[in-house]
Structure 1
Amino acid sequence: MNVVNRQKQHNVVIKGTKDGLTLHLDDTCSFQELISELETKLSTNQHGDNQQLVAVQLKIGNRYLTPEQEEQLKAVVNQKNNLAVNMIDSNVVSKEEAVRLKEEEEIVSISKIVRSGQVLQVSGDLLLVGDVNPGGTVIAGGNIFILGALRGIAHAGYSGNIQAVIGASVIENAQLRINDAILNPTENGGHKEASYMQCAYLDEDGEMVMERVQSMPQLRPNLTRLERRN
């Protein structure tokens, strides 16, 4: 009679890295089984010393965790004096998160004139067919492209995107903002006089620079999300 030795599957695998510990947590077992094995392994293994805090990353694969389960996982790890969870890495996103990500990836196309006192804001990229008059404001989480005259305020990358750019057919007496950087019309010769087919971007030092639109494919090769086909 053949006897097959089956090794018990580990629901928790602990790996040390230069940045701390990574805990690979099985996504097919029950949550209670996972918690039980995690408590056992953390109690029987000493990681680091009590004088040094060890950062822990939890990789949970395709498991969906409720907010309560996330807190329970963190509590099991954090109860060890020298361990602290700094990240939970999951392949699963909530519906709300998926909608937010989709909005941030969208290119919103709008045809209108943004007049004085009006604010036009989108989560992703903005393609505006029309002018931004003095006193008007356009804001985007991504890039701003204006097929018209920009004479008001344009704020691209408002959520922290330092790779965002601002481009317009005409830029004149406009205030440009990318992330936290601001370029006023009176600075660096400003844009008091009209400049045509220009783009603004942040260089490696975080300074705003103006270039011709034709330079953007070299400066921002990932600017377009359209797939290039030969």
Structure 2
Amino acid sequence: MAVKRGVTIKGTRDGLSLYMDDTYSYKELLSELEEVLSAQHILEEDPLIRVTIELGNRYLTSKQQDEIRQIFEKHNKLVIDKIQSNLIEKKTALEWKEQTDIKMYHRMVRSGQVLHVEGDLFLIGDVNPGGKVMASGNVFVLGSLKGIAHAGCSGNKQAVIAASYMAPSQLRIADIISRPPDSDEEGMYMECGFLDESYEKIRMERVTALSKVRPELNGFERRVMNG
């Protein structure tokens, strides 16, 4: 009968994967980790071996992670590459939620006004000439976009800009800027802008093509796009 262990090691293409069973106490795992590492037969001439530690549904404090690193320091051929857990800190979770939430506004952005949000922006209303909307994620305008729209303002090059009526004075995605043509062309209805694969310019398409261009958009965003 096989003996159940709290710490198991498996070889991978990139080194070793060490799994620490989250049903064991932390002290039990530390003790067993010492035993498991001491049993590894590593020669002096062997290269450094990178180790990924899998914690499962366990969260370790910075102090606990340091204690584990100290155990590994006794075995100088084993180097911790990363420590992974299914759990994250509440602060990190709230930051992630802030970055991925869709912020909905029902208003007009007038000349001189700036509407700036973290995450995706869904604006029900117009952006007048001289007005500006900015989002770290996507920008959706259910109205006329005649001012400036900046999506992915934190560097997200996968962000998109879409509007019911697209006649902007400037579009910007991440650090790429697109200005309107010098002609007196009228705007377009139900259009979207996104960076092409080379990330050299912003391309315009009908909103209905967006699900093919950015299939990673979630269901709610697709419903917004397809009206």
TM-score by length of 1: 0.80
Report the equivalent of 2:145. 150
The alignment status of 1:195 with 2:187, answered yes or no, reads yes
The alignment status of 1:219 with 2:213, answered yes or no, reads yes
Q: Aligned partners of 1:28, 1:93: CA distance in 2, in Å?
A: 18
Deviation at 1:147, TM superposition (A): 1.6
Instruction: Please tell me the root mean square deviation across aligned C-alpha atoms, in Å.
Output: 2.9
Give the ranges of 4+ consecutive aligned residues of structure 1 lying more than 6 Å apart after TM superposition.
Answer: none
Name the stretch that deviates more: 38-47 or 197-206: 38-47
Amino acid in the other structure paired with 2:179: P
Query: Deviations for 1:111-135, whole angstroms, at most 9, x for unmatched residues?
Result: 1222344332323221111223344
Q: Which of 193, 206, 209 is equivalent to 2:203?
A: 209
Report the equivalent of 1:56. 51
Cα separation, partners in 2 of 1:74 and 1:171, compared to 1, 3 Å: farther
Report the equivalent of 1:83. 78
Amino acid in the other structure paired with 2:131: G
Q: Aligned partners of 1:199, 1:216: CA distance in 2, in Å?
A: 7
Report the equivalent of 1:178. 173
Amino acid in the other structure paired with 2:170: Q
Q: Aligned partners of 1:108, 1:170: CA distance in 2, in Å?
A: 20
List runs of 5+ in structure 2 lacking aligned partners: 223-227
Conserved 8 A contact 2:149-2:168:
no
Query: Deviations for 1:48-89, whole angstroms, at most 9, x for unmatched residues?
Result: 866744332111001121222123223333553333323222
Q: Aligned partners of 1:78, 1:117: CA distance in 2, in Å?
A: 58
Q: Which of 92, 99, 114 is equivalent to 1:104?
A: 99
Give secondary structure in 2 for the equivalent of 1:61: coil
List runs of 5+ in structure 1 lacking aligned partners: none
TM-score by length of 2: 0.80
